Amino acid sequence: MSGYILRRGGQSLVALMALLVLVFFLSRLTGNPTDLYMPMDASLDQREAFATKHGFNDPLYVQFGTYLVNIAKFDFGDSIFQGRPAMQAALEAFPVTLRLALITMVLALGLSVLIGSLAAYRPGGLFDRVASLLTISSASTPDFWLAIVGILIFSVTLGWLPTSGTGTFWHWLLPIGVLLVRPLGLLTQVVRMSMISALAAPYVKTARAKGAPKRRVVFVHALRNSMLSVITVAGDQAAALINGAVVVETVFGWPGIGNLMIAAIKQRDFAVLQACILVTAVAIFLMNILIDFAYSRLDPRIRG
Amino acid sequence: MPPMLKQNAPVLEIENLVIDFQTPTGLFQAVRDISFRVDSNESVAIIGESGSGKSVTANAVLGLLDCPPGRIKSGDIRFRGKSLLSMPLRERRDLYGRGIAMVFQDPLTHLNPVYPVGWQIAEVCRIHGMPRREANEHALELMVRVGIVDPHKRFSAYPHQFSGGQRQRIMIAMAMAMQPDLLIADEPTTALDVTVQARILALLRRLQSETGMSLLMITHDLGVAADIADRVLVMQKGVLVEHGPVESVFRSPQHPYTRQLLTDRSEEYRSKKHEDGEMLLEISNLDIHYGAHHAVKDVGFTVARGEIVGIVGESGSGKSTVASTILKLREPSSGSILYRGKNIQSLSGLDLRGYKRAVQAVFQDPYSSLNPRMNVFRILSEAWTLHPDVLPREKWRARAEELMEMVGLNASDLEKFPGEFSGGQRQRIAIARALTLNPEVVVCDEAVSALDMTIQAQIITLLTRLRRELGLAYVFIAHDLTLVEKFADRVLVMKSGEIVEQGATADVFGAPKDDYTRRLIAASPVADPKLQAERRRTLQLA
């Protein structure tokens, strides 16, 4: 296992390097931050001084060299807007996003396993048909629209929930509700499909011949076998959430990493953008290792 | 500690059972008004071909029919005098696994891949109320009893870590967990090698004599039925056509269908002994390695025009590896295959194409070896697309029609897709496909193993006829010794990659020189209860 993690770590490191190079050059394509940072009436001298101080006047390859050297020293640069280390800002925002993502995924997984299994038990039955209709629509609803409509109904019209920000329990409800919709729909469909094929498998027949009650057949014998494909899709969905649910965080003014990234792009705050990408990339790498670990726990055949 | 043997107390009674299946093409009656009983400590075998309703009947007893599309329309199933069909579900479930247990055909798919085998055996006990600890201990005892070596270590191993025979032992341990009164075994040895089959049948017989349970065995193998049953029931198309004590049914079958099943066709198959034809293939010193595994060791044999060379051996003996090397699907590590005196490894261009035409194949599984999205005409004409010089395009249709008729199908079936044919018909299509390039040698890798007996006989008859008409030679790979004995001119016996014995079929089977060949022949049950009982006794003594 440790050899495996080392190998995966090596592969991810290469990917990470490529990503950092790409982000560096792409972000510089957006233009010089000096124009955005300095006030409209700042003099040319002032602008020059600012650019020189932050190294924006150096040739690109010099900037890139400094960037790589600093990364090697675990120095990810300072945010020019916040005046503090960029990594600090990213690490502050990340847990906020992570908490949101975690709660959403736990809810999505739990609900989808329950609904998907029940739907699979009698494919084509009333419950299955209603569940299928709902999950198809929820998997295909755009989240920005849902977020706005949610605010309109629950905050503006009914006045039950706050429109944005954090603080109380009530602040969590709308963002989680909106984020939950798509993964829940998708996962329920995956659970349903893989449960249908698991329930048709010969070992389920064996379980029935043993005298196992229905609940045991579904949740002990079939479910564990169908979890492999569910975990693959769940990992994909979780990666999207960890990456910062950019749209939802922006709409709800959620101080997470997605929000921070958007702000950094708009302000050409390169250091912050790079730090954010690094943090999420590492998080996704760790999550993939977790998923591989879960695979091998679930299916002894993978353990070899 | 056999319990009291209440003679003639029925354990299972089936009365006027009718089972319907709703299919896309209409209502299909799978079981038509059958009645029979199984008494205590009795072994009953249901024999018949696929689609005869024998497995449906067995599944109905354990409530394993998928309803819909299946439906028990009328009749009754009684266990120890109580009707299972009118019993509340909870009470029925309590009987499953405890009073009636079942062993299935394919133990790999019927064991749950993600739980340890010990857990799965103990689960039966836990479902029926035994505390976890006690259940685990009991599962260990059962593993010892069915002959799993090193059960403490194997307890937490998973199904994929066992061999086929051991998996079936685990299935049997699971079925025996609550000491059932009735064990239903649905083709329990069909997927196994003959020597393993003999051991599993011996195990079932031993367990039966220890516990006094009744055994209901579903099988298509007459030898297995002759080996284990006291009574046999013969089913055909859902109807029970004949039943009685095993000796009398096998000795003097009354129904024409039973008679047809029991016909010995060896004369018919060997109607024309081949004359010494020219030498086509000369294989010598063939060695094949898979990494560190030495799959084929120093194998050598020849195939002459019009000759049938049978290769027998158990799974893993290297038979199929040899076949795929002949087909040039795999390169040998060393050794040579000469085709008309030329080494096939050094063939190129036209010569290589010529070789690939001359040697064709028919594989085991007619379901997966035909592309389901091509119609029969495309399946047949594909070879002509690849070898355009064989046949001009305008003659494709006529030749395809001719081939269809040659293998006993209708020319009008050319537009149909593989899914619309039965297993036997598909194998005929596979044979027609092998014939498209006018081959000299056809490699048949377990080509009839997946088919029912009568279908098997039809395909073998077809192959015999084609040899007579076209002078074809066959390399015929099979694990079914009886079949090879009837069909092949010469036979090779393979074990762990080596040929342990080869010679004329009559010599090898009549007077086997090698110990392994003798064991293989002894393990293969014959469809004669009296002879089989004798053989079993000598086998036990030896």
The secondary structure of A124-184, three-state, reads CCHHHHHHHHHHHHHHCCCHHHHHHHHHHHHHHHCCCCCCCCCCCHHHHHHHHHHHHHHHH
Total H helices, total E strands in chain A: 15, 0
**Which residues, other chains included, contact B108 with Cβ-Cβ below 8 Å and sequence gap of 6+?**
B159, B160, B164, B167
Q: What structural domains does chain B harbor?
A: 10-262 (3.40.50.300), 277-511 (3.40.50.300)
Average pLDDT of the segment spanning A43-64: 80
In chain A, the number of structural domains is 1
A219 shares contact with chain B (CB less than 8 Å): no
Q: What is the mean pLDDT of residues B139-148?
A: 91
Q: Can you give the pLDDT at residue A273? A: 85
A294, part of any domain: yes
Q: pLDDT tens digits, residue range A22-42?
A: 888 887 777 777 777 777 777
Cross-chain CB nearest to B111 (options A206, A209, A216):
A206
Q: How far is A209 from chain B (nearest CA, A)?
A: 6
Residue B420 pLDDT class (50, 70, 90 cuts):
confident
**A202, A212, A298: residue with CB nearest B110:** A202
A213 to chain B: closest CA residue: B93
Residue A93 lies in a domain: yes
Per-residue confidence (pLDDT) for residue B526, from 0 to 100? 83
* pLDDT one-digit tens code per residue, B486-522: 889 999 999 989 999 999 988 998 899 999 998 888 8
Residues of chain B in Cβ contact (below 8 Å) with chain A = 62-64, 93-98, 101-102, 104, 106, 109-116, 123-124, 127-128, 158, 160, 171, 174
Q: How confident is the model at residue B302 (pLDDT cuts 50, 70, 90)?
A: very high
Q: How far apart (Å, rounded) are the C-alpha atoms in residues A180 and A112? A: 11
CATH number at residue A234: 1.10.3720.10
Contact A224 B64 (CB under 8 A): no
- Is A302 a residue whose pLDDT tops 70? yes
Q: pLDDT tens digit string along A203-256?
A: 999 999 999 998 899 989 999 999 888 988 998 888 888 876 788 888 888 888
Kindly determine whether residue B110 and residue A299, on different chains, have CB atoms separated by under 8 Å: no
For residue B215, give how far its alpha carbon lies from the nearest alpha carbon of chain A (Å): 16
Q: How confident is the model at residue B273 (pLDDT cuts 50, 70, 90)?
A: low
pLDDT score recorded for residue B268: 62
Q: Which residues of B touch A203 (CB under 8 A)?
A: 109-113
**Amino acid identity for residue A270 in this structure:** F
Contacts of B113 in chain A (CB under 8 A): 203, 225, 299-301
Rounded Cα distance, A225 and A212, in Å: 17
The 3-state DSSP class for residue B68 equals: coil
> Residue A92: pLDDT above 60?
yes
Q: Minimal Cα–Cα distance from A208 to chain B, Å?
A: 7
Question: How much is the pLDDT for B538?
Answer: 75
The reply to whether A76 falls in a domain is no
Inter-chain CB proximity A224 and B114 less than 8 Å = yes
Residue in chain A closest to B183 (alpha carbons) equals A209
Residue B179 · residue B146 · CB < 8 Å: no
Residues 6+ apart with CB under 8 A from A224: A298, B114, B115
Taking the CA atoms of residue B243, residue B245, residue B248 and residue B252 in that order, the dihedral angle to the nearest 10 degrees is 10
**Residue A37 domain-assigned (yes or no):** no
Decide if B113 and A225 are in contact by the 8 Å CB cutoff: yes
User: Is A203 at the interface with chain B, CB within 8 A?
Assistant: yes
Q: Which residues of B touch A216 (CB under 8 A)?
A: 127
**Residue owning tokens 């890139």:** A64
Distance from CA of A11 to the nearest CA of B (A): 27
Name residue, tokens 């920000």: A165
pLDDT in tens, B1-19: 344 444 568 999 999 999 9
Question: Which stretch of A162-176, B232-246, B307-321, B426-440 has the lowest confidence by average pLDDT?
Answer: A162-176
Contacts of B119 (CB under 8 A, 6+ apart): B139, B156
A51-65, B43-57, B176-190: least confident range: A51-65
Q: Which residues pair with B477 in a beta bridge?
A: B311, B445
If pLDDT is split at 50, 70 and 90, which confidence band does B267 have? low
Closest CA of chain A from B525, distance in Å: 28
Integer CA distances (angstroms), A234 to A133, A189, B410, B414, B482, in order? 20, 12, 51, 46, 53
Is A206 within 8 Å of B93 when comparing Cβ atoms? no
Kindly state whether A35 is in contact with chain B, defined as any CB-CB distance less than 8 angstroms.
Answer: no
Residue A81 lies in a domain: no
Helix (H) or strand (E) holding B500: strand B498-504
Least confident of A287-291, B137-141, B276-280, B449-453: B449-453
* Confidence check: pLDDT of A66 > 50: yes
With an 8 Å Cβ cutoff, is A295 touching chain B?
no
Average pLDDT rounded to a whole number, residues B124-145: 92
Instruction: Give the Cα separation of A193 and B45 in Å (integer).
Output: 38
Predicted confidence (pLDDT) per residue in B230-247, tens digit: 999 999 988 999 999 999
Residues of chain B contacting residue A221, judged by C-beta atoms under 8 Å apart:
112
| d(C-alpha B403, C-alpha B432), whole Å | 6
Chain B contact present for A224, CB below 8 A: yes
What is the 8-class DSSP label of residue B49?
A: -
pLDDT at residue A139 tops 90? no
Domain membership flag for residue A57: no
Contact criterion met (CB < 8 Å) for B160 and A301? yes
Reported as a pLDDT band with limits 50, 70 and 90, residue B542 is low
Query: Are B98 and A202 within 8 A, CB to CB?
Result: no
**Is A130 within a domain?**
yes
Count of helix runs (H) and strand runs (E) in chain B: 22, 20
Supply φ then ψ for residue A141, to 5 degrees: -85, 130
What is the domain range of residue A99? 86-303
Instruction: Say yes or no to pLDDT of A304 above 60.
Output: no
Min distance B118 CA to chain A CA atoms (Å): 14
Looking at every residue in chain B, the average pLDDT score rounds to: 88
Residue A298 in contact with partner chain B when CB distance is under 8 A:
yes
What is the structure's pLDDT at B199? 87
With bands split at pLDDT 50, 70 and 90, how would you rate the model's confidence at B432? very high
**B48–chain A nearest CA distance, Å:** 22
Contact list in B for residue A229 (CB cut-off 8 A) is: none
Put simply, whether A125 touches B (Cβ < 8 Å) is no
Count how many pairs of residues, chain A against chain B, have C-beta atoms within 8 Å.
Answer: 71
Cross-chain Cβ contact B93/A211 below 8 Å: yes
Listed range (B126-135, B257-266, B302-311, B497-506) with the worst mean pLDDT:
B257-266
Q: What percent of chain A has pLDDT over 70?
A: 98
Q: Locate the chain A residue with the closest alpha carbon to B178.
A: A210
A chain contacts of residue B123, beta-carbon cutoff 8 Å: 210, 212
pLDDT of the residue at B7: 55
CB contact under 8 A, B101 and A209: yes
Nearest to B109 among A203, A221, A299 (CB): A203
Assess if residue A60 is contained within a domain: no
